[in-house]
Amino acid sequence: MFDSRKQWVVVVVCAATVAWVGCGPKRAAITVAGSTAFQPFAEKLAEELMAKRPDLAITVQGGGSAVGIQSALSGAAQIGMADLVELPPEAKSLTSVVVARDGVAMVVHPSNPVQNLTTDQIRGIFNGRIRNWKEVGGRDEPITVVSREAGSGTRTSFEQIIGGIRLTPDAVVQDSNGTIRETVANDARAIGYLTHGVVNEKVKTLKVDGKECTTEAILAGEYKLVRPVFFLFKGAPQGAVKEFLDYVLSAEGQEIIKRNGLIPAK
């Protein structure tokens, strides 16, 4: 059944596999997992660092803040990423370092005349107590509330900062920053919230308590809806983990974060 040609193929395939697995330079491999909001930044940073240090192999995965905490705890990832205002109790055993900050922007359709909302009004809208734009100085139109899904880091932070929110059952739920933006951009009556980094000209950002959501206002500590982005480790960071952390916190790393729309840690 096996003629000699087939045997040759088998031998060559085996040899190639052994060579591929066996050779190659020794690399220090680490995995970074968690927050989908910070994931693109972590990818960019990892890429830059690996370009300089070919002996490092950094893999970046998403999954969300909860996954970041879980995988740091279980050791599935050496670094967990989480963007929450308060870390949950199970993360207390982990070392946490703030590597960046992220503003949460309140967005509406560009045609919406409303410019500013107070914390109280935002709470009322998301609780379903305020149901018409007229009540907050807009047109006489019903409000479409757009929120993220339960468990999202952006939603958890938003609800923690505003406080006292029990999301109205009428709220439309979208599962990413991008789809929130699309929904709001397509609906003149919608209001939503999303990470500062992905706001573009298709939506209008509202002032919160009279303060604009800009990098300057966030750095000055004026804008309210800000959350830290944490890196979480088991114990003290060392080796490749420490190198990546140092790079992220370095002037160059922070500049990359700032250039791509997030707010530096300091």
Partner 1 sequence: MKFNREKLVERLLLVVALSAMAALALIAVFIFKEGVPFLLEVGPRQFLLSSDWRPQEGRFGVYPMIVASLWVTLGAMLIGAPLGVAGAIFLNEFVPRWVMRIIKPTIELLAGIPSVVFGFIGVVVLAPLIRAHLGGPGLSVLAGAVVLGIMVLPTVISISTDAISAVPNSYREGALALGATRWQAVHMVVLKAARSGIVASLILAMGRAVGETMAVIMVAGNAVKVPHSVLDSVRTLTANIALEMGYATGKHREALFATGVVLFVVVMILNSIATAAVRRRFGTKGTRK
What residue ranges bind partner 1 (CB under 8 A)? Answer: 63-67, 70, 144, 149-152, 166, 169-175, 179, 182-183, 186-187, 189-190
Handedness of CA 114, 120, 126, 130 (dihedral sign): negative
- Output 116 or 127, the one with its CB closest to partner 1: 127
Query: Three-class SS of residue 238?
Result: coil
Minimum distance between the CB of residue 37 and partner 1, rounded to whole angstroms?
Answer: 13
Token output for 71: 């995988």
CA dist 107 and 192 (Å) reads: 5
- Output 173 or 265, the one with its CB closest to partner 1: 173
- Output 35 or 254, the one with its CB closest to partner 1: 35
- Output 22 or 75, the one with its CB closest to partner 1: 75
Minimum distance between the CB of residue 236 and partner 1, rounded to whole angstroms?
Answer: 26
Instruction: Please name every residue paired with 190 in a beta bridge, in sequence order, or none if there are none.
Output: 144
Minimum distance between the CB of residue 24 and partner 1, rounded to whole angstroms?
Answer: 33
Minimum distance between the CB of residue 212 and partner 1, rounded to whole angstroms?
Answer: 28
Q: Which residues contact 8 (CB under 8 A, 6 or more apart)?
A: none
Any alpha helices (H) in the chain, and if so which ranges? 4-22, 39-52, 65-74, 119-127, 153-162, 177-186, 215-219, 240-249, 251-259
CA dist 15 and 32 (Å) reads: 33
Best CA proximity match to 145, nearest among 117, 176, 116, 124: 124
- Output 141 or 216, the one with its CB closest to partner 1: 141
- Output 112 or 144, the one with its CB closest to partner 1: 144
- Output 63 or 253, the one with its CB closest to partner 1: 63
Minimum distance between the CB of residue 175 and partner 1, rounded to whole angstroms?
Answer: 5
Residue 213 corresponds to which amino acid? C
Minimum distance between the CB of residue 9 and partner 1, rounded to whole angstroms?
Answer: 22
Instruction: Please name every residue paired with 205 in a beta bridge, in sequence order, or none if there are none.
Output: 107
Minimum distance between the CB of residue 21 and partner 1, rounded to whole angstroms?
Answer: 28
Residue 53 burial by CB count (10 A; 0-12/13-18/19+): exposed, middle or buried? middle
